[in-house]
Amino acid sequence: MIAIYPGSFDPITLGHIDIIERGCKLFEKVIVAVLQNPSKTPLFAIEKRLNQIHYSTQHLSNVEVASFDGLAVNYAKMRQAKVLMRGLRVLSDFEKELQMAHTNKTLLSEIETVFLATSNEYSFLSSSVVKEIAIFGGSVDHLVPQHIAIDIYKCYDKIQPILNQQ
């Protein structure tokens, strides 16, 4: 069975990668589908995000990285996927994601949404948190893969922070 893991992944975090790795154990194929959202101004261009994700998931043989625009259910149908995979961190995520799952079901009755609870160490982590830390010069090395941390530091024209000076 094919699962679609849709999102903006701007940037992809270690929490996202954890969900992808765990999804790969459950499904024959996981398509990490990067949404092209014209209403958002991303930190990284779509091609850059695709490359970052591809590099971050190259150790997983059943992952494909692609982009799409429009509704996730339409993309899932086009790719013959039966599952939308979503990660849950906190209760507010559940409320939003459950509403979206019900909405998606009204749009495409054969689609199922599978929720994976985030691993404890990533329960606070989001792409927004990563960007906020980085913009103020904090280290994001423990939140994203190293190659992405370097890309983030370049975006904010910052040198890699030196932490743990005690």
Catalytic residues: 16, 40, 89, 127
Structure tokens at 107: 């749009």
Structure tokens at 73: 């259910």
Residues in the chain: 166
Instruction: Using DSSP, state whether 61 is helix, strand or coil.
Output: coil
Residues β-bridged to residue 83: 3, 112
**Is 39 labelled as part of a ligand binding site?**
no
Q: How many angstroms separate the CA atoms of 23 and 86, rounded? A: 10
Contact yes or no for 11/134 (Cβ under 8 A): no
**Is 125 labelled as part of a ligand binding site?**
yes
**Is 139 labelled as part of a ligand binding site?**
no
**Is 72 labelled as part of a ligand binding site?**
yes
Q: How many angstroms separate the CA atoms of 99 and 159, rounded? A: 41
**Is 89 labelled as part of a ligand binding site?**
yes
**Is 122 labelled as part of a ligand binding site?**
yes
**Is 124 labelled as part of a ligand binding site?**
yes
Contact yes or no for 97/90 (Cβ under 8 A): no
**Is 87 labelled as part of a ligand binding site?**
yes
- Residues belonging to the binding site are 8-9, 16, 40, 72, 86-89, 97, 122-128
Residues in binding site for ATP: 8-9, 16, 87-89, 97, 122-128
Report the binding-site residues for substrate: 8, 40, 72, 86
